[in-house]
Amino acid sequence: MIHDILPHKLFNEFKICDPKPTDYLIRYAGGKTLLKNNNAATSGTTGAAYNIPRVGELLSLEGKTLADFEGHYLFSIDDTGFFLDDSAVAKTSDATTHAGYEYVGNRTFRSMDPVERLGGVTAAHIAHWESQNKFCGVCGNVTIRGDKERSIVCPKCGNVVYPRISPVVIVAVHNGDKLLMAHNIDNPNPRLFLISGFVEVGESLEQAVHREVQEEAGVKVKNVRYFGSQPWPFSDSLIAGFTAELDGDDTIHMQEAELSEAMWVRREDIPEYETDVSISCCLIENFRWGFTLDSES
């Protein structure tokens, strides 16, 4: 999954430090991140060979040195830091680019190597949160970054805001040798995946599983069991994965406002899914390989 980067390690403790030329530099504008496109012939195409630029790389292009750096530390993977450029603008249309560089959406990170994939999308998660909290939600005053923890602070009224992490559940519903699979209308990937959704206020993760399956597919489940979890910075989320069994009638009543497809798929008809990014694929592969509910943890 996206956070499985061994032998590399993420160090996300809060600290204040200066960058090295070899550290990564995140420039974020209009919901997009500036990346180096290594294949000019496919410029603008998601899936091209992209890399996150380094601090020294961009400073050199602009005739600057480390003494001119405007930014702050986010986290490190191994001994390489990720820094956010404080001079970035709010809108992509106002942002300056260089030949061979372009602002792209977060899905581009999915095609990058594991370290830059996790580091890039996690940095974009923080950048998005910071960009949405330039002003205090209580009194409207201009905010500042906290100097003791990762937070946004209002110097006028003292309001403190922490990074937004929204809980999500995803569930592999078993019906004998069939798996409940679906396609969300907002997902550009045409493949079938699993039922998922955000946890609502006042409910547990398990209650959210029951509700989401009932709402989106119109069926009931039982024997809900925890499978695992993963960060999902693409939607500012933490995803908890579960397995469950069909409880009763297997007739699907699809929620057309959320899904374009929902169906029971036999184990032998499920194609192979890559498990290096998402817990959804891990749950599907777990079923495809024939693991039973009793053998799952």
* pLDDT of amino acid 94: 60
Residue whose entry in the numeric block shows the structure tokens 């899904």: 259
Residue 95 has a pLDDT of 65
At 179, list the tokens: 């798996």
pLDDT, position 97: 78
- pTM comes to 0.87
SS3 161: strand
* Both structure tokens of 278: 């998402």
**Omega of the bond leading into 190 within 30 degrees of 0 (cis):** no
Q: Which amino acid is at 271?
A: P
- Bridge partner list, 238: 167, 231
Q: How far apart are CA 71 and CA 32, in angstroms?
A: 17
| DSSP helix, strand, coil percent of the chain (3-state; round to 5) | 25, 30, 45
Q: Which amino acid is at 41?
A: A
DSSP letter for each residue of 107-173: GGGGGS-HHHHHHHHHHHHHHHHHHTTSB-TTT-PBPEE-SSSS-EE-TTT--EE----EEEEEEEE
Integer angstrom CA distances of residue 154 from 15, 46, 157, 286: 20, 38, 6, 47
The one-digit pLDDT tens for each residue of the chain (297 residues) are 999 999 999 999 999 999 999 999 999 988 899 999 887 544 444 445 899 999 999 999 999 999 999 999 999 999 999 999 987 665 666 667 788 899 999 889 988 999 999 999 999 999 999 999 999 999 999 999 999 999 999 999 999 999 999 999 999 999 999 999 999 998 888 999 999 999 999 999 999 999 999 999 999 999 999 999 999 999 999 999 999 999 999 999 999 999 999 999 999 999 999 988 999 999 999 999 986 544 343
Q: What are phi and psi of 134, to 5 degrees?
A: -70, -25
Buried/exposed 243-276: b ≥16 CB within 10 Å, e otherwise: bbebbeeeebeebeebbeebebbeeeebeebebe
Written as six digits, the tokens of 122 are 């996690």
The DSSP secondary structure of 254-265, one letter per residue, reads --TTTEEEEEEE
Q: What is the model's pLDDT at position 214?
A: 97
255/172 Cα distance (integer angstroms):
17
The whole-number pLDDT of residue 40 equals 53
Q: What are phi and psi of 121, to 5 degrees?
A: -75, -30
Helix (H, G, I), strand (E, B) or coil at 190: coil
